[in-house]
Amino acid sequence: MTPAPRFSVICPTHNRSRAITRTLESVRRQAFPGWELLVVSDGSTDDTDEWVRAAAAQEPRIRLLRVPRHGHPSGPRMSGLREARGEFTAYIDHDDEWRADHLRVLLDAFEAGADLVATGCERRTAAGALTSRSDPLELVWHPEIQMLGPMFEPSRVAHRRPLAEEAGGWRAGDGLEDWDLWLRMAGLGLRFTTVHAHTAALLDDSSTRRHRTVRRHRLPLAVFDDARRAHAALRRLRGGEFDDEFRSAYLADTLEWYERMSTTPEFVLPTGWHGELGPEITHRATAPGDLWPDLVLVPEGRHFVLAQLLWCATVDHARQVRSLSARVQRRQLALAAEVAGAVAEE
């Protein structure tokens, strides 16, 4: 009988055709040989399955699982979990790739005692051009950081196999299903071990599901009685007049927040990184870019609410984000309220 592999790699796919071979090949190139790759075809109607079968004919560690169309990667991932034999489960999306040492880096973390691991990553266009690399702050982990923003795309993550199902498994929704699962795992008391090495290459393209995620929840900043003043406040916040003040408020809030979190046992710094947090936080605070890309005006009854769109999967999650934001972003929120209040009085 063939011994069970250490890793079961799950790759959901739909109508990827020949392009999936780049993903499959990146798994085949792994320096650590103890893996199986479960490619779960979500009712593909093109020649994707044929390309996977051709790869499996050359590499017996690759298996094709065909399932009825779900239209969402959570169903195929759950089908893969049910078929998995490995001690650990790793994920790779059908348009991402791994560096040859990805599984070895994950294994080192597991053998050091980790339950749940995320690596650093690069983001590249379909043509292969580098658009960004994860910085150390993206890999600092704490339950509060996990609560406030999406972290760790599936192609960067692996866990001891039973843990996903113990947390309730992959669930369908508008998007952010990965973040939803990581949050539920954290709710069980699990914590991420993170690794600074950039071992995953993710597709950075407007066609990916993350760019199509519907954001239904909001963080209210101010309420106005008339549309004219509401639009004036929106223009004032986006106009750049207060950018330096907001960057200073962000820096003070974030330094204070990270200092507090760093005194708790849940706080995780990425393995392989030996820098200091202060300069990283300062760099992010002073980086160029739009400070308010997600501001919206929402009519509610006779009022107009100026609000920040939230990355949240559920109503309960949004409630927790609002509560936590009030505690850890208090200077920023107070400044936003002050600017909006000045407009309301004009």
Q: What tens digit of pLDDT does each residue of 148-171 get? A: 988 999 999 999 999 999 999 999
The domain at 7-210 falls in which architecture? Answer: Alpha-Beta Complex (3.90)
Please report the pLDDT score of residue 226 as a whole number.
87
**Cβ partners under 8 Å of residue 232, min gap 6:** 343, 346
Checking if the pLDDT of 45 tops 60, the result is: yes
- Kindly state the average pLDDT of the residues 86-94: 98
Per-chain mean pLDDT for the chain:
93
Q: Where are the domains of the chain?
A: 7-210, 215-345
pLDDT band at 343 (very low <50, low <70, confident <90, very high): confident
Checking if the pLDDT of 335 tops 70, the result is: yes
**Residue 47: half-sphere exposure toward Cβ, Cα within 13 Å:** 7
Please report the pLDDT score of residue 205 as a whole number.
82
pLDDT band at 240 (very low <50, low <70, confident <90, very high): confident
pLDDT band at 208 (very low <50, low <70, confident <90, very high): low
The predicted model scores a pTM of 0.92
In which residue are the tokens 């990553």 written? Answer: 121
Give per-residue pLDDT as tens, 98-126: 999 999 999 999 999 999 999 999 999 99
Checking if the pLDDT of 173 tops 90, the result is: no
Please report the pLDDT score of residue 291 as a whole number.
84
- Kindly state the average pLDDT of the residues 201-229: 82
pLDDT band at 211 (very low <50, low <70, confident <90, very high): low
